[in-house]
């Protein structure tokens, strides 16, 4: 009993800390922006474009549900996308309330509605996250090379006085690779020396298990029958993420003339921001996005307003449609998982 109370108290504390961090970051970003100025900016927003962004967001979530079904099919589950979509939306809804709760929640919803084993569902979610991580890395690498000159120039102007004996960011990158190489060799040697002790260390075992899950998740692609559907939906999901940001560009006059390449940079930035364990990326998203927009000539004030508009649009989309999905899931009748439901 005491242990359960302690666990609940720790969970509440963790939630309070992450929520406090989110609130502080949000205050920090908007502390100098008056309410009058903010409301004046909102008057110029084209809400038709924001409505289109919401539609694109829902379409991306539907594609995610479709792709999840493809991953579940080799495990013996044949589901209708509309039912899986409910689970996906409830998962996003939960993530906005408690960081990292969404993955477990949507697996639980699918267990309730379609009798999908939670272990199977969670394994497929791990696989899904692996492919999304790989996609993010590939897009980030492509964006870095395409926008290298702009990013390099910004870094030099911002940090020239702090860079020791280097004329460009290239020197920093090469130095970083050198440090990583040395660290890699050192870690390898330490691993060989303390191998037996590591195998008894709980933290090491958790890391090892996590890496194994990533590898297994990636290799599970070989079991997928519908390869075309999987890769097409993966591309579609990320394209829609990109399109959602571009559409908000058009909705806000100060960003309406930004290039499509700027959208790529913001896509990567938003992906990184949303991976931070804070409710819905609150605060972190606003800091990251507004900072990147400065690179493309958007003023700091306009940048933080854009970040607020973009984040609030998607946050409220999840809260409204995710909340509705949760209510629907409560009344959905459970169906067998081995037939089309």
234-254: pLDDT as tens digits: 999 999 999 999 999 999 999
Q: In the chain, what is the straight-line distance between the N-terminal and C-terminal CA atoms, in Å?
A: 41
273 within some domain: yes
Q: Find all residues with CB under 8 Å of 77, minimum gap 6, and list them.
A: 69, 114, 116, 120, 337, 338
Q: Find all residues with CB under 8 Å of 200, minimum gap 6, and list them.
A: none
CB 21 within 8 A of CB 278: yes
- pLDDT of 339: 45
327 within some domain: yes
Q: Could you list the residue range(s) of the whole structural domain that residue 274 is in?
A: 2-30+49-163+219-331
341 within some domain: no
Backbone angles phi, psi at 115, to 5 degrees: 55, 40
Q: Which residues of the chain have pLDDT under 70?
A: 1-8, 11, 151-176, 190-194, 196, 198-200, 210-220, 336-341
CB 29 within 8 A of CB 53: no
320 within some domain: yes
Q: Please give the tally of structural domains in the chain.
A: 1
- pLDDT of 82: 94
- pLDDT of 7: 65
Q: Find all residues with CB under 8 Å of 123, minimum gap 6, and list them.
A: 75, 213, 216, 217, 220
Counting every residue, how long is the chain? Answer: 341
35 within some domain: no
40 within some domain: no
340 within some domain: no
pTM of the model: 0.79
178 within some domain: no
- pLDDT of 152: 66
- pLDDT of 166: 46
């Amino acid at each position: 009993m005491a242990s359960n109370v302690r666990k609940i108290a720790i969970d509440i504390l963790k939630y309070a800390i992450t929520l406090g961090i989110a609130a502080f970051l949000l205050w920090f970003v908007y502390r100098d922006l008056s309410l009058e100025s903010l409301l004046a900016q909102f008057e110029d927003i084209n809400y038709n474009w924001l409505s289109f962004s919401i539609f694109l967001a829902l379409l991306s979530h539907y594609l995610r549900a479709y792709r999840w079904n493809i991953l579940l099919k080799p495990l013996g589950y044949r589901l209708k996308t509309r039912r899986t979509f409910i689970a996906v939306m409830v998962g996003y809804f939960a993530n906005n309330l408690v960081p990292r709760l969404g993955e477990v929640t949507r697996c639980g919803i699918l267990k309730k509605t379609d009798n999908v084993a939670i272990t199977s569902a969670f394994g497929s979610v791990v696989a899904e996250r692996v492919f999304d991580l790989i996609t993010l890395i590939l897009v980030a690498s492509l964006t870095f090379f395409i926008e290298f000159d702009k990013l390099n120039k910004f870094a030099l102007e911002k940090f020239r006085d702090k860079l020791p004996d280097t004329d460009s960011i290239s020197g920093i990158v090469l130095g970083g690779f050198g440090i990583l190489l040395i660290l890699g060799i050192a870690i390898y040697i330490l691993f060989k020396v303390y191998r037996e002790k590591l195998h008894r260390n709980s933290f090491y075992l958790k890391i090892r298990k996590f890496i194994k899950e990533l590898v297994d998740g990636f290799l599970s692609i070989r079991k997928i029958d519908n390869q075309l559907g999987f890769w097409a939906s993966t591309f579609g999901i990320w394209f829609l993420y990109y399109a959602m940001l571009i559409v908000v560009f058009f909705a806000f006059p100060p960003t309406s003339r930004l290039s499509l390449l700027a959208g790529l940079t913001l896509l990567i930035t938003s992906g990184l921001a949303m991976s931070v364990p804070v409710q819905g990326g609150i605060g972190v998203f606003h800091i990251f996005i507004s900072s990147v927009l400065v690179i493309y000539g958007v003023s700091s004030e306009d940048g933080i307003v854009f970040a607020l508009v973009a984040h609030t649009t998607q946050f409220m989309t999840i809260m409204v449609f995710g909340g509705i999905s949760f209510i629907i899931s409560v009344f959905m009748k459970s169906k067998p998982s081995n037939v089309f439901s």
